[in-house]
Homo-oligomer: A and B are copies of this chain.
Amino acid sequence: MTITADQVKQLREMTGAGMMECKRALAETGGDLDKAVDSLRKSGAAKAEKRAGRTAQEGRVDSYIHPGNRVGVLVEINCETDFVARTDEFGDLVRNIAMQVAAAGAEYVRREEVPAERVSRERDILAGSTELQGKPAAILDKIISGKLDKFFAEVCLLEQPYIRDDKRKVSDLVQEAAAKTGENIVVRRFSRFRLGQE
């Protein structure tokens, strides 16, 4: 019984376990992938969040080009299975998010992606604004953090109000689609070109 490199690779992708552990598990189970997964799970080597099909590696790449061809957007949105990726539900979500980026021009997907220097520059500008001079320190922090939230809601796609219904945030759209499809959905990245602009 020989264990092929492909089997090991597949098992690693299914479990996130190390190569030697996967080899051992396959040897023990005579090359049976399902049994090997169970064996790794028992030994604790399989990472729960790396279970087959639970990571958002499928999905769609799609674009929206605004009429006139002066603004265009490319997006990648991930879900867990090709089956969900092909549904109209998921396709609509991807299209709506591409239109959102074209219309509202986010710079980042999420708050964590905004560079720390930019956040601290923003904070400095706010702290130095004449409007805030002379306020007691206790409420100053609250005001600044509220204004920073507004800044994030402008530059981060997921925090923006949805262009077609400003009662909801873009992250709400994503959550709703995740609930309907029963899969984890992740906005992975986008690119936005505006003619002649950086």
Contacts and interface: CB of A to CB of B under 8 A. Distances in A.
Interface residues of A, number: 25
Q: How many copies does the complex hold?
A: 2
Interface stretch (A2-10, A54-62, A116-124, A157-165): A54-62
A132 to B, nearest CB: 31
A76 B74 CA distance: 12
B78 A72 contact: no
A143 interface: no
Given A74-B72, A193-B189, A63 B60 contact: no
A57 B196 CA distance: 6
Given A60-B69, A65-B63, A85-B69, A74 B195 contact: no
A61 B69 contact: yes
A36 to B, nearest CB: 24
Given A189-B193, A193-B191, A196-B57, A69 B78 contact: no
Interface of A: 57-63, 65, 69-76, 78, 85, 94, 189, 191, 193-196
Given A69-B85, A76-B195, 20 more contacts: A58-B195, A59-B195, A61-B65, A61-B70, A61-B71, A61-B72, A61-B193, A61-B194, A62-B69, A63-B63, A63-B74, A69-B94, A72-B76, A73-B74, A75-B193, A76-B193, A78-B195, A78-B196, A189-B193, A191-B191
